[in-house]
Structure 1
Amino acid sequence: MDFLQFLSWACIVFTVGMFSTGLTDLKKMRATQSADSVQFLPFLTTCLNNLGWLYYGILKKDGTLMVVNVIGASLQILYIVTYFHYTKDKRRVSAQTLAMAGVLGVAWVYFGVMLPHGETQLSQLGLFCSVFTVSMYLSPLLEIIRTRSVERLSFSLTVATFFTSASWTLYGLQLQDYYIMVPNTPGIVTSLIRFFLFWRFGAVSQDKPSYKLIQQI
Protein backbone atom coordinates (compact mmCIF):
# COMPACT_ATOMS: atom_id res chain seq x y z
CA MET A 1 0.00 0.00 0.00
CA ASP A 2 1.53 3.33 -1.04
CA PHE A 3 1.36 6.46 1.10
CA LEU A 4 -1.45 8.10 -0.92
CA GLN A 5 -3.64 5.00 -0.60
CA PHE A 6 -2.92 4.89 3.13
CA LEU A 7 -3.95 8.55 3.45
CA SER A 8 -7.09 7.84 1.45
CA TRP A 9 -8.16 5.14 3.89
CA ALA A 10 -7.20 7.34 6.84
CA CYS A 11 -9.40 10.15 5.49
CA ILE A 12 -12.33 7.77 5.06
CA VAL A 13 -12.01 6.17 8.50
CA PHE A 14 -11.43 9.38 10.47
CA THR A 15 -14.05 11.42 8.61
CA VAL A 16 -16.77 8.78 8.89
CA GLY A 17 -15.87 8.47 12.57
CA MET A 18 -16.28 12.23 12.97
CA PHE A 19 -19.67 12.23 11.24
CA SER A 20 -20.75 9.25 13.36
CA THR A 21 -20.46 11.27 16.57
CA GLY A 22 -23.90 12.60 15.67
CA LEU A 23 -25.27 9.14 16.51
CA THR A 24 -24.98 10.21 20.15
CA ASP A 25 -27.54 12.93 19.49
CA LEU A 26 -29.72 10.49 17.59
CA LYS A 27 -29.71 8.04 20.52
CA LYS A 28 -30.43 10.89 22.91
CA MET A 29 -33.45 12.00 20.88
CA ARG A 30 -34.81 8.46 20.72
CA ALA A 31 -34.25 7.89 24.44
CA THR A 32 -35.91 11.16 25.52
CA GLN A 33 -38.44 11.29 22.66
CA SER A 34 -37.41 14.94 22.33
CA ALA A 35 -34.99 17.11 20.34
CA ASP A 36 -34.89 19.95 22.87
CA SER A 37 -31.27 19.38 23.95
CA VAL A 38 -29.89 19.00 20.42
CA GLN A 39 -28.96 21.70 17.92
CA PHE A 40 -30.43 21.38 14.43
CA LEU A 41 -28.38 23.86 12.41
CA PRO A 42 -25.09 21.88 12.53
CA PHE A 43 -26.84 18.97 10.79
CA LEU A 44 -27.97 21.25 7.96
CA THR A 45 -24.65 23.03 7.49
CA THR A 46 -22.70 19.77 7.59
CA CYS A 47 -25.04 18.25 5.00
CA LEU A 48 -24.56 21.28 2.76
CA ASN A 49 -20.79 20.98 3.18
CA ASN A 50 -20.91 17.27 2.32
CA LEU A 51 -22.93 17.87 -0.84
CA GLY A 52 -20.55 20.62 -1.97
CA TRP A 53 -17.48 18.42 -1.53
CA LEU A 54 -19.31 15.50 -3.14
CA TYR A 55 -19.86 17.57 -6.27
CA TYR A 56 -16.21 18.65 -6.17
CA GLY A 57 -15.15 15.00 -5.87
CA ILE A 58 -17.37 14.02 -8.82
CA LEU A 59 -15.86 16.75 -10.99
CA LYS A 60 -12.34 15.68 -9.99
CA LYS A 61 -13.22 11.96 -10.21
CA ASP A 62 -11.78 11.54 -6.71
CA GLY A 63 -13.14 8.34 -5.18
CA THR A 64 -12.07 9.23 -1.64
CA LEU A 65 -14.01 12.49 -1.66
CA MET A 66 -17.05 10.80 -3.18
CA VAL A 67 -17.16 7.89 -0.69
CA VAL A 68 -16.67 10.09 2.37
CA ASN A 69 -19.25 12.67 1.41
CA VAL A 70 -21.90 10.18 0.26
CA ILE A 71 -21.66 8.57 3.71
CA GLY A 72 -21.53 11.96 5.42
CA ALA A 73 -24.55 13.38 3.58
CA SER A 74 -26.53 10.17 4.22
CA LEU A 75 -25.82 10.39 7.96
CA GLN A 76 -26.76 14.07 8.10
CA ILE A 77 -30.04 13.37 6.29
CA LEU A 78 -30.74 10.63 8.86
CA TYR A 79 -30.07 13.12 11.69
CA ILE A 80 -32.27 15.76 10.02
CA VAL A 81 -35.19 13.34 9.57
CA THR A 82 -34.84 12.10 13.16
CA TYR A 83 -34.71 15.66 14.50
CA PHE A 84 -37.81 16.62 12.52
CA HIS A 85 -39.64 13.59 13.92
CA TYR A 86 -38.93 14.50 17.55
CA THR A 87 -38.91 18.30 17.51
CA LYS A 88 -41.90 20.32 18.66
CA ASP A 89 -40.92 23.28 16.48
CA LYS A 90 -41.51 21.68 13.09
CA ARG A 91 -42.26 25.04 11.44
CA ARG A 92 -38.79 26.42 12.22
CA VAL A 93 -37.10 23.19 11.16
CA SER A 94 -39.07 23.11 7.90
CA ALA A 95 -38.19 26.74 7.16
CA GLN A 96 -34.46 26.15 7.75
CA THR A 97 -34.52 22.99 5.63
CA LEU A 98 -36.28 24.80 2.79
CA ALA A 99 -33.70 27.59 3.05
CA MET A 100 -30.90 25.05 2.67
CA ALA A 101 -32.70 23.53 -0.32
CA GLY A 102 -32.89 27.02 -1.83
CA VAL A 103 -29.16 27.54 -1.31
CA LEU A 104 -28.48 24.18 -2.97
CA GLY A 105 -30.69 25.16 -5.90
CA VAL A 106 -28.92 28.48 -6.42
CA ALA A 107 -25.50 26.80 -6.06
CA TRP A 108 -26.46 24.15 -8.62
CA VAL A 109 -27.56 26.75 -11.14
CA TYR A 110 -24.37 28.79 -10.63
CA PHE A 111 -21.77 26.00 -10.50
CA GLY A 112 -23.51 23.50 -12.78
CA VAL A 113 -25.14 25.73 -15.41
CA MET A 114 -23.74 29.25 -15.47
CA LEU A 115 -20.04 28.48 -15.11
CA PRO A 116 -18.17 26.97 -18.06
CA HIS A 117 -17.22 23.37 -17.38
CA GLY A 118 -13.57 22.75 -16.70
CA GLU A 119 -10.92 24.47 -14.59
CA THR A 120 -12.98 27.59 -13.83
CA GLN A 121 -15.90 25.54 -12.54
CA LEU A 122 -13.62 23.34 -10.43
CA SER A 123 -11.62 26.21 -8.94
CA GLN A 124 -14.65 28.30 -7.98
CA LEU A 125 -16.43 25.30 -6.44
CA GLY A 126 -13.26 24.40 -4.57
CA LEU A 127 -12.95 27.95 -3.25
CA PHE A 128 -16.59 27.95 -2.09
CA CYS A 129 -16.20 24.59 -0.32
CA SER A 130 -12.93 25.71 1.27
CA VAL A 131 -14.41 28.91 2.72
CA PHE A 132 -17.45 27.00 4.01
CA THR A 133 -15.26 24.35 5.65
CA VAL A 134 -13.08 26.94 7.39
CA SER A 135 -16.18 28.69 8.78
CA MET A 136 -17.39 25.36 10.19
CA TYR A 137 -14.06 24.77 11.91
CA LEU A 138 -14.13 28.25 13.45
CA SER A 139 -17.76 28.39 14.63
CA PRO A 140 -17.47 26.08 17.68
CA LEU A 141 -14.23 27.78 18.70
CA LEU A 142 -15.90 31.20 18.68
CA GLU A 143 -18.80 29.76 20.70
CA ILE A 144 -16.42 28.51 23.43
CA ILE A 145 -14.60 31.84 23.60
CA ARG A 146 -17.93 33.72 23.75
CA THR A 147 -19.45 31.58 26.52
CA ARG A 148 -16.16 30.70 28.27
CA SER A 149 -17.54 27.17 28.58
CA VAL A 150 -16.99 23.85 26.77
CA GLU A 151 -20.19 22.19 27.95
CA ARG A 152 -21.80 22.49 24.50
CA LEU A 153 -18.86 20.88 22.71
CA SER A 154 -17.95 17.21 22.44
CA PHE A 155 -14.38 16.33 23.40
CA SER A 156 -14.53 13.13 21.32
CA LEU A 157 -15.63 15.21 18.33
CA THR A 158 -12.65 17.53 18.84
CA VAL A 159 -10.29 14.52 18.79
CA ALA A 160 -11.98 13.18 15.65
CA THR A 161 -11.79 16.61 14.00
CA PHE A 162 -8.05 16.83 14.72
CA PHE A 163 -7.25 13.48 13.08
CA THR A 164 -9.68 14.12 10.21
CA SER A 165 -8.26 17.55 9.35
CA ALA A 166 -4.68 16.24 9.66
CA SER A 167 -5.34 13.34 7.28
CA TRP A 168 -7.11 15.56 4.72
CA THR A 169 -4.30 18.14 4.91
CA LEU A 170 -1.72 15.45 4.09
CA TYR A 171 -3.99 13.99 1.40
CA GLY A 172 -4.39 17.40 -0.25
CA LEU A 173 -0.64 17.96 -0.02
CA GLN A 174 0.06 14.65 -1.77
CA LEU A 175 -2.39 15.55 -4.56
CA GLN A 176 -1.13 19.16 -4.64
CA ASP A 177 -4.78 20.19 -4.30
CA TYR A 178 -4.78 23.37 -2.24
CA TYR A 179 -8.59 23.45 -2.06
CA ILE A 180 -8.39 20.29 0.04
CA MET A 181 -5.22 21.10 1.95
CA VAL A 182 -5.71 24.78 2.87
CA PRO A 183 -9.18 24.61 4.51
CA ASN A 184 -8.21 21.59 6.60
CA THR A 185 -5.05 23.18 7.98
CA PRO A 186 -7.13 25.53 10.22
CA GLY A 187 -8.89 22.38 11.44
CA ILE A 188 -5.62 21.21 12.99
CA VAL A 189 -4.95 24.61 14.53
CA THR A 190 -8.47 25.12 15.88
CA SER A 191 -8.53 21.58 17.30
CA LEU A 192 -5.32 22.27 19.21
CA ILE A 193 -6.82 25.52 20.49
CA ARG A 194 -9.98 23.67 21.52
CA PHE A 195 -7.85 21.15 23.45
CA PHE A 196 -6.31 24.06 25.32
CA LEU A 197 -9.75 25.57 25.97
CA PHE A 198 -11.00 22.23 27.29
CA TRP A 199 -8.10 22.28 29.72
CA ARG A 200 -8.64 25.97 30.51
CA PHE A 201 -12.43 25.95 30.99
CA GLY A 202 -13.04 22.26 31.62
CA ALA A 203 -12.82 22.56 35.38
CA VAL A 204 -15.51 25.26 35.34
CA SER A 205 -17.83 23.15 33.17
CA GLN A 206 -17.48 20.09 35.39
CA ASP A 207 -19.19 22.00 38.18
CA LYS A 208 -22.30 22.26 36.01
CA PRO A 209 -25.14 19.83 36.81
CA SER A 210 -25.16 18.33 33.31
CA TYR A 211 -22.96 17.97 30.23
CA LYS A 212 -24.57 18.54 26.85
CA LEU A 213 -23.02 16.57 24.03
CA ILE A 214 -23.95 18.39 20.85
CA GLN A 215 -22.46 17.87 17.41
CA GLN A 216 -20.76 20.93 16.01
CA ILE A 217 -18.34 20.80 13.10
Structure 2
Amino acid sequence: MAVSVAVLRTVFGILGNIISFFVCLAPIPTFVRIYKRKSSEGYQSIPYVIALFSAMLWIYYAMIKKNVMVMITINTVSLVIQIFYISFYLFYAPKKEKTLTVKFVLFVDVFAFGLIFFLTYFLLHGEKRVQVLGYVCMVFSLCVFVAPLGIIRKVIKTRSAEFMPFSLSFFLTLSAVMWFFYGLLSKDMNIALPNVLGFIFGVLQMILYLIYKKPGTKVLEPPVINLQEISDHVVDVVRLSSMVCSSQMRTLVPQDSADMEDTITIDEKIKGDIEKMKESKEMFLISKN
Protein backbone atom coordinates (compact mmCIF):
# COMPACT_ATOMS: atom_id res chain seq x y z
CA MET A 1 0.00 0.00 0.00
CA ALA A 2 1.53 3.27 -1.14
CA VAL A 3 1.75 6.15 1.32
CA SER A 4 0.27 9.36 0.01
CA VAL A 5 2.29 12.55 -0.33
CA ALA A 6 0.02 14.31 2.18
CA VAL A 7 0.73 11.67 4.84
CA LEU A 8 4.49 11.84 4.24
CA ARG A 9 4.38 15.63 4.39
CA THR A 10 2.54 15.46 7.71
CA VAL A 11 5.00 12.90 9.10
CA PHE A 12 8.03 15.00 8.13
CA GLY A 13 6.33 18.11 9.51
CA ILE A 14 5.72 16.44 12.89
CA LEU A 15 9.26 15.01 12.99
CA GLY A 16 10.54 18.47 12.04
CA ASN A 17 8.64 19.96 14.98
CA ILE A 18 10.00 17.40 17.43
CA ILE A 19 13.61 17.64 16.29
CA SER A 20 13.48 21.44 16.02
CA PHE A 21 12.29 21.49 19.61
CA PHE A 22 15.43 19.60 20.60
CA VAL A 23 17.44 22.09 18.52
CA CYS A 24 15.97 24.83 20.70
CA LEU A 25 16.97 22.93 23.83
CA ALA A 26 20.46 22.01 22.59
CA PRO A 27 22.13 25.24 23.88
CA ILE A 28 21.04 24.48 27.46
CA PRO A 29 24.50 23.06 28.43
CA THR A 30 26.02 26.31 27.20
CA PHE A 31 23.78 28.36 29.46
CA VAL A 32 24.39 26.00 32.37
CA ARG A 33 28.10 26.70 31.92
CA ILE A 34 27.40 30.44 31.75
CA TYR A 35 25.42 30.16 35.00
CA LYS A 36 28.25 28.29 36.73
CA ARG A 37 30.85 30.80 35.55
CA LYS A 38 28.54 33.74 36.24
CA SER A 39 29.74 35.18 32.94
CA SER A 40 28.80 34.83 29.27
CA GLU A 41 32.29 35.84 28.16
CA GLY A 42 33.54 33.60 25.35
CA TYR A 43 30.07 33.03 23.90
CA GLN A 44 28.13 34.99 21.28
CA SER A 45 24.51 36.14 21.29
CA ILE A 46 24.27 36.57 17.51
CA PRO A 47 22.90 33.05 16.74
CA TYR A 48 20.06 33.52 19.25
CA VAL A 49 19.14 36.98 17.99
CA ILE A 50 19.02 35.74 14.40
CA ALA A 51 17.11 32.61 15.42
CA LEU A 52 14.52 34.84 17.11
CA PHE A 53 14.22 36.94 13.97
CA SER A 54 13.84 33.82 11.83
CA ALA A 55 11.09 32.47 14.09
CA MET A 56 9.19 35.77 13.85
CA LEU A 57 9.45 35.75 10.05
CA TRP A 58 8.29 32.13 9.68
CA ILE A 59 5.28 32.74 11.93
CA TYR A 60 4.34 35.72 9.77
CA TYR A 61 4.90 33.68 6.59
CA ALA A 62 2.82 30.75 7.87
CA MET A 63 -0.04 33.04 8.86
CA ILE A 64 -0.06 34.67 5.41
CA LYS A 65 0.26 31.44 3.41
CA LYS A 66 -2.10 29.35 5.58
CA ASN A 67 -2.33 25.54 5.78
CA VAL A 68 1.15 25.31 7.32
CA MET A 69 0.23 24.97 10.98
CA VAL A 70 3.37 22.92 11.72
CA MET A 71 5.41 26.04 10.94
CA ILE A 72 3.42 28.15 13.40
CA THR A 73 3.65 25.70 16.31
CA ILE A 74 7.40 25.11 16.34
CA ASN A 75 8.33 28.71 15.55
CA THR A 76 6.12 30.00 18.37
CA VAL A 77 7.92 27.66 20.78
CA SER A 78 11.26 28.75 19.32
CA LEU A 79 10.35 32.43 19.72
CA VAL A 80 9.65 32.00 23.44
CA ILE A 81 12.82 29.97 24.04
CA GLN A 82 15.06 32.41 22.12
CA ILE A 83 13.71 35.32 24.15
CA PHE A 84 14.62 33.40 27.31
CA TYR A 85 18.13 32.65 26.02
CA ILE A 86 18.79 36.27 25.07
CA SER A 87 17.52 37.51 28.44
CA PHE A 88 19.71 34.98 30.26
CA TYR A 89 22.72 36.00 28.16
CA LEU A 90 22.16 39.68 28.89
CA PHE A 91 21.98 39.01 32.63
CA TYR A 92 25.49 37.51 32.71
CA ALA A 93 27.09 39.38 29.80
CA PRO A 94 29.90 41.93 30.30
CA LYS A 95 28.87 45.53 29.80
CA LYS A 96 30.30 45.77 26.28
CA GLU A 97 28.65 42.53 25.07
CA LYS A 98 25.40 43.51 26.75
CA THR A 99 25.31 46.84 24.89
CA LEU A 100 26.10 45.21 21.54
CA THR A 101 23.41 42.55 22.07
CA VAL A 102 20.73 45.12 22.92
CA LYS A 103 21.63 47.17 19.84
CA PHE A 104 21.55 44.08 17.66
CA VAL A 105 18.15 43.02 19.02
CA LEU A 106 16.70 46.48 18.41
CA PHE A 107 18.13 46.67 14.89
CA VAL A 108 17.25 43.14 13.73
CA ASP A 109 14.25 41.95 15.76
CA VAL A 110 12.50 45.30 16.06
CA PHE A 111 13.51 47.64 13.24
CA ALA A 112 14.22 45.10 10.46
CA PHE A 113 11.16 42.96 11.21
CA GLY A 114 8.95 46.02 11.51
CA LEU A 115 10.19 47.28 8.13
CA ILE A 116 9.58 43.91 6.44
CA PHE A 117 6.12 43.65 7.98
CA PHE A 118 5.17 47.17 6.89
CA LEU A 119 6.43 46.77 3.30
CA THR A 120 4.89 43.33 2.70
CA TYR A 121 1.61 43.85 4.51
CA PHE A 122 0.69 47.30 3.22
CA LEU A 123 2.40 47.43 -0.19
CA LEU A 124 1.90 43.86 -1.42
CA HIS A 125 -1.24 41.75 -1.75
CA GLY A 126 -2.31 38.18 -2.45
CA GLU A 127 0.14 35.71 -3.96
CA LYS A 128 2.76 38.41 -4.52
CA ARG A 129 2.95 39.04 -0.76
CA VAL A 130 3.42 35.32 -0.05
CA GLN A 131 6.10 35.03 -2.74
CA VAL A 132 8.16 38.02 -1.58
CA LEU A 133 7.81 37.09 2.08
CA GLY A 134 8.89 33.53 1.23
CA TYR A 135 12.08 34.86 -0.40
CA VAL A 136 12.79 36.99 2.66
CA CYS A 137 12.27 34.01 4.98
CA MET A 138 14.54 31.87 2.83
CA VAL A 139 17.35 34.46 2.96
CA PHE A 140 17.21 34.79 6.71
CA SER A 141 16.94 31.04 7.21
CA LEU A 142 20.25 30.88 5.39
CA CYS A 143 21.55 33.47 7.85
CA VAL A 144 20.54 31.20 10.74
CA PHE A 145 22.67 28.42 9.29
CA VAL A 146 25.52 30.79 8.37
CA ALA A 147 25.57 32.40 11.85
CA PRO A 148 27.67 29.55 13.36
CA LEU A 149 30.46 30.43 10.91
CA GLY A 150 31.85 32.73 13.60
CA ILE A 151 32.03 29.78 15.99
CA ILE A 152 33.57 27.58 13.27
CA ARG A 153 36.27 30.20 12.69
CA LYS A 154 36.93 30.37 16.43
CA VAL A 155 37.19 26.58 16.67
CA ILE A 156 39.75 26.45 13.83
CA LYS A 157 41.72 29.41 15.21
CA THR A 158 41.87 28.15 18.81
CA ARG A 159 41.95 24.46 17.83
CA SER A 160 39.36 23.83 20.52
CA ALA A 161 35.68 22.81 20.23
CA GLU A 162 34.81 24.09 23.70
CA PHE A 163 32.37 26.73 22.45
CA MET A 164 30.65 24.57 19.79
CA PRO A 165 28.31 22.02 21.40
CA PHE A 166 28.08 18.78 19.43
CA SER A 167 24.41 18.30 20.38
CA LEU A 168 23.43 21.57 18.68
CA SER A 169 25.26 20.66 15.47
CA PHE A 170 23.72 17.18 15.43
CA PHE A 171 20.13 18.32 15.92
CA LEU A 172 20.55 21.17 13.41
CA THR A 173 21.66 18.64 10.79
CA LEU A 174 18.79 16.26 11.56
CA SER A 175 16.29 19.12 11.58
CA ALA A 176 17.56 20.33 8.20
CA VAL A 177 16.89 16.88 6.72
CA MET A 178 13.31 16.77 8.01
CA TRP A 179 12.39 20.28 6.88
CA PHE A 180 14.00 19.73 3.50
CA PHE A 181 11.71 16.79 2.80
CA TYR A 182 8.72 18.66 4.23
CA GLY A 183 9.38 21.60 1.90
CA LEU A 184 10.03 19.28 -1.04
CA LEU A 185 6.76 17.35 -0.52
CA SER A 186 4.91 20.64 0.01
CA LYS A 187 6.48 22.02 -3.19
CA ASP A 188 7.68 24.99 -1.18
CA MET A 189 11.28 25.74 -2.14
CA ASN A 190 11.40 28.59 0.36
CA ILE A 191 11.43 25.91 3.06
CA ALA A 192 13.42 23.21 1.22
CA LEU A 193 16.39 25.15 -0.20
CA PRO A 194 17.77 26.77 3.01
CA ASN A 195 17.90 23.36 4.66
CA VAL A 196 20.33 22.09 2.03
CA LEU A 197 22.84 24.62 3.32
CA GLY A 198 21.79 23.81 6.88
CA PHE A 199 22.66 20.15 6.32
CA ILE A 200 26.09 21.05 4.88
CA PHE A 201 27.00 23.39 7.75
CA GLY A 202 25.71 20.93 10.33
CA VAL A 203 27.90 18.13 8.99
CA LEU A 204 30.88 20.52 8.83
CA GLN A 205 30.43 21.50 12.48
CA MET A 206 30.24 17.86 13.60
CA ILE A 207 33.43 17.04 11.67
CA LEU A 208 35.26 20.00 13.26
CA TYR A 209 34.03 18.95 16.69
CA LEU A 210 35.46 15.46 16.23
CA ILE A 211 38.76 16.89 14.97
CA TYR A 212 39.30 19.52 17.66
CA LYS A 213 37.57 17.90 20.60
CA LYS A 214 40.02 17.44 23.46
CA PRO A 215 38.86 14.54 25.64
CA GLY A 216 39.35 14.91 29.34
CA THR A 217 39.95 18.67 29.24
CA LYS A 218 38.39 20.60 32.05
CA VAL A 219 38.01 24.27 32.73
CA LEU A 220 40.55 25.21 35.37
CA GLU A 221 38.96 26.66 38.45
CA PRO A 222 40.82 29.44 40.29
CA PRO A 223 42.61 28.06 43.37
CA VAL A 224 41.07 28.77 46.74
CA ILE A 225 43.44 30.77 48.92
CA ASN A 226 43.55 29.54 52.53
CA LEU A 227 44.92 32.34 54.69
CA GLN A 228 45.34 30.03 57.68
CA GLU A 229 47.62 27.71 55.73
CA ILE A 230 49.61 30.64 54.34
CA SER A 231 50.28 32.10 57.78
CA ASP A 232 51.29 28.67 59.19
CA HIS A 233 53.59 28.15 56.21
CA VAL A 234 55.30 31.50 56.73
CA VAL A 235 55.98 30.73 60.39
CA ASP A 236 57.30 27.26 59.55
CA VAL A 237 59.64 28.65 56.90
CA VAL A 238 61.02 31.24 59.31
CA ARG A 239 61.51 28.59 62.01
CA LEU A 240 63.26 26.23 59.59
CA SER A 241 65.53 28.96 58.22
CA SER A 242 66.52 29.97 61.74
CA MET A 243 67.42 26.39 62.65
CA VAL A 244 69.51 25.97 59.50
CA CYS A 245 71.31 29.27 59.98
CA SER A 246 72.02 28.49 63.62
CA SER A 247 73.44 25.02 62.91
CA GLN A 248 75.60 26.32 60.08
CA MET A 249 76.99 29.10 62.22
CA ARG A 250 77.89 26.68 64.99
CA THR A 251 79.63 24.38 62.53
CA LEU A 252 81.61 26.91 60.58
CA VAL A 253 82.49 29.51 63.20
CA PRO A 254 85.03 28.77 65.99
CA GLN A 255 83.19 28.47 69.26
CA ASP A 256 85.23 30.64 71.55
CA SER A 257 83.60 32.64 74.33
CA ALA A 258 83.13 35.81 72.26
CA ASP A 259 81.70 33.89 69.35
CA MET A 260 79.41 31.97 71.69
CA GLU A 261 78.04 35.22 73.03
CA ASP A 262 77.44 36.48 69.49
CA THR A 263 75.75 33.20 68.57
CA ILE A 264 73.50 33.38 71.61
CA THR A 265 72.62 36.98 70.75
CA ILE A 266 71.73 35.96 67.19
CA ASP A 267 69.67 33.01 68.45
CA GLU A 268 67.79 35.24 70.86
CA LYS A 269 67.14 37.76 68.09
CA ILE A 270 65.80 35.04 65.79
CA LYS A 271 63.60 33.71 68.59
CA GLY A 272 62.33 37.23 69.16
CA ASP A 273 61.50 37.55 65.46
CA ILE A 274 59.63 34.23 65.56
CA GLU A 275 57.61 35.41 68.56
CA LYS A 276 56.74 38.62 66.71
CA MET A 277 55.61 36.55 63.69
CA LYS A 278 53.41 34.43 65.94
CA GLU A 279 51.87 37.55 67.49
CA SER A 280 51.26 39.02 64.01
CA LYS A 281 49.63 35.74 62.95
CA GLU A 282 47.34 35.72 66.01
CA MET A 283 46.37 39.37 65.44
CA PHE A 284 45.64 38.61 61.75
CA LEU A 285 43.40 35.64 62.64
CA ILE A 286 41.58 37.67 65.30
CA SER A 287 40.93 40.54 62.86
CA LYS A 288 39.79 38.01 60.20
CA ASN A 289 37.26 36.39 62.57
Give yes or no for the alignment of 1:66 onto 2:72.
Answer: yes
Cα distance, 1:25–1:152 mapped onto 2, change above 3 Å: closer
Within a 5 Å distance, the mapping from 1:77-156 to structure 2 comes to 77-89=83-95, 90-100=98-108, 101-114=110-123, 116-141=124-149, 143-144=151-152, 148=156, 149=159, 150-156=161-167
What is the match of residue 215 of structure 1? none
What is the match of residue 212 of structure 2? 202
Q: Deviations over 1:119-156 (max 9, x none)?
A: 11111111111111123223424652575243331111
Aligned partners of 2:168, 2:152: CA distance in 1, in Å?
Answer: 14
Q: Deviations over 1:5-35 (max 9, x none)?
A: 2112101000010011122233233333322
Cα distance, 1:33–1:145 mapped onto 2, change above 3 Å: closer
What is the match of residue 29 of structure 2? 24
Cα distance, 1:27–1:196 mapped onto 2, change above 3 Å: closer
Please state whether the residue corresponding to 1:107 is helix, strand or coil: helix
Give yes or no for the alignment of 1:184 onto 2:195.
Answer: yes
Aligned partners of 1:31, 1:65: CA distance in 2, in Å?
Answer: 35
Within a 5 Å distance, the mapping from 1:48-67 to structure 2 comes to 48-61=53-66, 62-67=68-73
Structure 2 unaligned segments of length 5 or more: list them.
221-289
Please state whether the residue corresponding to 2:94 is helix, strand or coil: coil
Q: Which structure: larger Rg?
A: 2
Aligned partners of 2:65, 2:138: CA distance in 1, in Å?
Answer: 15
Structure 1 position 81, deviation (Å) = 1.4
Cα distance, 1:151–1:29 mapped onto 2, change above 3 Å: closer
Aligned partners of 1:141, 1:99: CA distance in 2, in Å?
Answer: 21
Structure 1 position 38, deviation (Å) = 2.8
User: Identity of aligned pairs, percent?
Assistant: 21
Cα distance, 1:98–1:153 mapped onto 2, change above 3 Å: same
Cα distance, 1:198–1:137 mapped onto 2, change above 3 Å: same
Give yes or no for the alignment of 1:33 onto 2:31.
Answer: no
Structure 1 position 64, deviation (Å) = 0.4
What is the match of residue 51 of structure 2? 46
What is the match of residue 8 of structure 1? 13
Higher mean Cα deviation, 129-138 or 144-153? Answer: 144-153
**Cα pair 1:141 1:194 within 8 Å, conserved:** no
Higher mean Cα deviation, 102-111 or 84-93? Answer: 84-93
Structure 1 position 185, deviation (Å) = 1.3
Q: Deviations over 1:58-82 (max 9, x none)?
A: 1122110000100001100011112
**TM-score normalised to the size of structure 1?**
0.85
- Which protein has greater RCO, CA pairs closer than 8 Å, 6+ apart? 1
Structure 1 position 173, deviation (Å) = 0.9
**Cα pair 2:151 2:164 within 8 Å, conserved:** no
RMSD, aligned CA: 2.4
Cα distance, 1:24–1:207 mapped onto 2, change above 3 Å: closer
In the comparison of the two structures, how many residue pairs are matched? Answer: 208
Higher mean Cα deviation, 142-151 or 91-100? Answer: 142-151
Aligned partners of 2:29, 2:138: CA distance in 1, in Å?
Answer: 27
